[in-house]
Amino acid sequence: MEYVPAKDTKEDFDGFVKLEAEFDSHYVTIGAGEQYTRIPFLEKPKGTDSKEFEYQLKKDGFFVFAKDGTEYAGYVFGYIKELDPSYKAGHVGILDSIIVAEKYRGKGISTKLRDLFFEWLHSKDIAFCQLEVKTQNTEALEIYKKWGFEIDELRMWKKF
């Protein structure tokens, strides 16, 4: 497995789209997409994938693919967020996305991607990392708990 920084190429974009499509289908299957029915989209906006890919490339963050030859096995994207001045720690690392294709799960790829991201955070003197995960995504919740993440709040919705 090779771990390489994302680049602005058609190959990387196509790999990103494929990984996102598989994730989206799994996400809906476990019921974690319910938030989109609370504040519904009229339809999926055209160019959403290209805008997200472009955003992640341009953001001053960490965007790395796991590749098995020419096949995209997964990716990690994260960045550093400035905190409100009332916090002692001025910044926190945000683990925004970590996705591994189903056929590559259980091979330590997400752990390696996590480790690379954590190394990057340490190189920037960041002492805390935060992520968000849907409560229905029990598989991811268990992985994050094994990695030492703790649940500290729940987001709730009410429609008027």
Q: What is the distance between the alpha carbons of residues 14 and 79, in angstroms, rounded to a whole number?
A: 22
pLDDT band at 39 (very low <50, low <70, confident <90, very high): low
Mean pLDDT of the region 95-123: 95
Question: Looking at the domain covering 2-146, what would its CATH class be?
Answer: alpha beta
Q: pLDDT tens digits, residue range 83-97? A: 877 777 789 999 999
| Rounded Cα–Cα distance for residues 73 and 100 (Å) | 6
Spell out the domain ranges in the chain. 2-146
Average pLDDT of the residues in 94-109 = 94
Tokens 């290209």 belong to residue:
50
Higher pLDDT, residue 99 or 50 = 99
Higher pLDDT residue, 136 or 122? 122
- The pTM is what? 0.84
How much is the average pLDDT of 51-64? Answer: 88
